């Protein structure tokens, strides 16, 4: 089979003399930048690798059957349907040519070149396995809808397989769930698996006792939720223990395979945990677009792939290129949604002022920290808001309200509340479906070879497929 050559189309987007703003990424940075430009005299092209805006903080609820993927990932085009100056296109940006001011995006072998006057790059970050990418096969991360649905299948599937297994060691292996990384994502994931086993599935099986499932939360660091400080970290650890999560700190994962993982403790002892389900919630790697921009502009790129931006979020010598969100490195700002949202809005304001002939923004970008939260289980969370540190029920209510505010769209908010009532007031989980395609699809795609690997941030990988299109479809 031969690969059909990528066609290069230059779209004749009607500019009417207005500045053309290209935004890469439909996550928090990209979407909030696009919305902030709604009234600006510019023409926006938002290029997304996926057709949705993903609310990553609730991915763990998709993975554990509380929410459906649609609730946390509305179509970007639907969100922006009334914004006449914005056009949404699907494609993975593979090249940025800063001298010629063009961006090339690809999908299924078709390449499209977009010219820009202003560029906002908000392509986020993927999972990092710290140089051990081979772990990904056995311990998926949680960065995309694909990841969450695959994990859902693996988690619920482990209980199903345990029900029909006869060897006690095999049952123990199937009912052991290991989450690597005790940051907010790992804590929330471990807490939800424990609740799933002890509340939701309590009465669903005949041969096994799901409440006896072992949930282990591992981290090489000596603390849970280190960014929340010692007091809240200790409380979170206690709350996790109360719901039956085993927290193992100072424990570095040195190997992962289909049957379990190898762990090196801080005293140098190496041990093995037999576990069918492993979840990777440690480490991030910024989009490769940072490196592409760094090579052309001389901006520094750190080990995690984040590109250093100037105080106004642009790149040196390129006031027309703005980088925001998880991809940017600026005064050690954390990779959280508010940094991306506020950065996206700041970049939009810079562009708006330039487009309307106003003076530049007088102040550099400053991040207003609204605080951080993590849920442990139903009715229990920790919240770190300025001087105030909450834990337990009050923190959980705060978490609920804040997350509802940021879910995009009225429909999604209503259905999310209904699903939360089913899961938190009752014992149910309405989203327990997982198909074989969801569980095996990623591995099957990777078996097709280079170019068909699913990227760690969701969507197709950067390269065009080699050996032709196995779907036998012509380029759209």
Ligand X SMILES: Cc1cc2nc3c(=O)[nH]c(=O)nc-3n(C[C@H](O)[C@H](O)[C@H](O)COP(=O)(O)OP(=O)(O)OC[C@H]3O[C@@H](n4cnc5c(N)ncnc54)[C@H](O)[C@@H]3O)c2cc1C
Of residues 70 through 109, those in contact with ligand X by CB under 6 A are 92-93
Q: Which position among 71, 92, 150, 188 bears the catalytic label?
A: 188
Closest separation between CB of residue 429 and ligand X, Å?
Answer: 18
Q: Of the ranges 43-51, 200-208, 270-278, 441-449, which one interacts with ligand X (CB under 6 A)?
A: 43-51
- Least Å distance, CB 134 to ligand X, is 21
By CB under 6 A, residue 183 contacts ligand X: no
Nearer to ligand X, 123 or 256 (CB): 123
- Alpha-carbon gap, residue 26 to 86, rounded angstroms: 12
- The count of chain residues that interact with ligand X, using the rule CB under 6 A, is 36
Per-residue contact string for residues 129-168; x = within reach of ligand X by CB under 6 A: -------------xx-------------------------
- Gyration radius (Cα) of the chain, Å: 23
Within 10-29, the residues that bind ligand X by CB under 6 A are 24-29
Smallest gap from Cβ 426 to ligand X, in A, equals 24
Going 466 to 469 to 474 to 476, the CA torsion angle's sign is: negative
Three-state DSSP state, 166: coil
Per DSSP, the three-state class of 287 is coil
CB of 16 to ligand X, least distance (A): 25
290 lines the binding site for ligand X (CB under 6 A): no
Instruction: State how far the Cα of 111 lies from the Cα of 106, in Å rounded to an integer.
Output: 4
What CA–CA distance (Å, rounded) separates 347 from 118? 10
Nearest-CA neighbor of 381 among 195, 249, 213, 255? Answer: 195
CB of 413 to ligand X, least distance (A): 17
Alpha-carbon span 444 to 464, nearest angstrom: 17
Which residues between 439 and 468 bind ligand X (CB under 6 A)? Answer: 457-459
Indicate whether 184 belongs to the interface with ligand X (CB under 6 A): yes
One symbol per residue from 46 to 65: x for binding ligand X (CB under 6 A), - otherwise; what is it?
-xxxx-----xx-x------
Angle at 31 between CA 27 and CA 33, to 5 degrees: 125
Give the 3-state secondary structure percentages of the chain, helix then strand then coil, rounded to 5. Answer: 35, 25, 40
Alpha helices, H only, 226-384:
229-242, 289-297, 337-355
With beta carbons less than 8 A apart as the criterion, state whether 201 and 163 touch: no
Question: How, if at all, do strands 7-9 and 102-107 pair?
Answer: unpaired
Tokens 């991040």 belong to residue: 367
Residue 170 annotated among the catalytic residues of the structure: no
CB atoms closer than 10 angstroms to residue 147: 25
Give the contact letters, 323-362, x = binds to ligand X (CB under 6 A), - = no.
Answer: --xxx-------xxxx-x----------------------
Comparing CB distances to ligand X, the nearer of 38 and 402 is 402
Q: Please give the positions annotated as active site.
A: 188
Residues at the contact surface with ligand X, assessed by CB under 6 A: 24-30, 47-50, 56-57, 59, 92-93, 122-124, 142-143, 184-185, 287, 289, 325-327, 335-338, 340, 457-459
């Amino acid at each position: 089979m031969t690969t059909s050559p990528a066609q290069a189309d230059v779209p004749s987007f009607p500019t009417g003399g207005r500045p053309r703003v290209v935004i890469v990424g439909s996550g928090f940075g990209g979407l909030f930048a696009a919305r902030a430009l709604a009234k600006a005299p510019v023409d926006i092209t938002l290029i997304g690798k996926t057709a949705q805006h993903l609310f990553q903080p609730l991915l763990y609820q998709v993975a554990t059957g509380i929410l459906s993927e649609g609730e946390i990932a509305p179509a970007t085009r639907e969100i922006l349907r009334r914004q006449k100056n914005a056009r949404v296109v699907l494609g993975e940006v593979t090249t940025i040519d800063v001298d010629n001011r063009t961006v090339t995006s690809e999908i299924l072998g078709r390449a499209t070149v977009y010219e820009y006057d202003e560029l906002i790059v908000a392509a986020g970050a993927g999972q990092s396995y710290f140089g051990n990418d081979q772990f990904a096969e056995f311990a998926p991360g949680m960065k995309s809808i694909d990841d969450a649905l695959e994990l859902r299948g693996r988690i619920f599937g482990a209980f199903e397989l345990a029900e029909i297994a006869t060897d006690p060691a095999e049952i123990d292996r199937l009912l052991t769930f290991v989450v690597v990384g005790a940051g907010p994502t790992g804590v929330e994931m471990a807490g939800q698996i424990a609740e799933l086993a002890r509340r939701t599935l309590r009465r669903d099986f005949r041969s096994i006792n799901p409440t006896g499932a072992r949930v282990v939360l591992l981290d090489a660091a000596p603390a849970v939720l280190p960014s929340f400080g010692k007091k809240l970290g200790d409380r979170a650890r206690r709350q996790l223990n109360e719901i039956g999560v085993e927290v193992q700190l100072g424990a570095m994962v040195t190997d992962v395979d289909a049957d379990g993982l190898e762990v090196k403790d801080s005293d140098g002892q190496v041990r093995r945990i037999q576990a069918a389900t492993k979840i990777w919630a440690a480490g991030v790697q910024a989009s490769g677009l940072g490196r592409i921009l760094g090579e052309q502009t001389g901006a520094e790129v750190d080990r995690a792939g984040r590109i250093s931006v100037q105080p106004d979020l642009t790149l040196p010598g390129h006031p027309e290129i703005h980088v925001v969100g998880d991809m940017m490195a600026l005064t050690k700002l954390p990779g959280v949604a508010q940094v991306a949202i506020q950065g996206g809005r700041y970049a939009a304001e810079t562009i708006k002022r330039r487009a309307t002939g106003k003076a530049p923004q007088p102040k550099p970008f400053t991040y207003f920290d609204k605080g951080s939260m993590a849920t442990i289980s139903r009715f229990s969370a920790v919240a770190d808001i300025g001087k105030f540190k909450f834990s337990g029920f009050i923190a959980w209510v705060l978490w609920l309200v804040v997350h509802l505010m940021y879910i995009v769209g009225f429909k999604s908010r209503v259905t999310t509340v209904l699903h939360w009532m089913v899961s938190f007031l009752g014992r149910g989980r309405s989203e327990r479906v997982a198909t074989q395609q969801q569980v095996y699809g990623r591995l099957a795609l990777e078996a097709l070879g280079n170019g068909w690997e699913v990227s760690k941030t969701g969507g197709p990988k950067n390269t065009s497929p080699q050996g032709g299109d196995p779907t036998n479809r012509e380029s759209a």
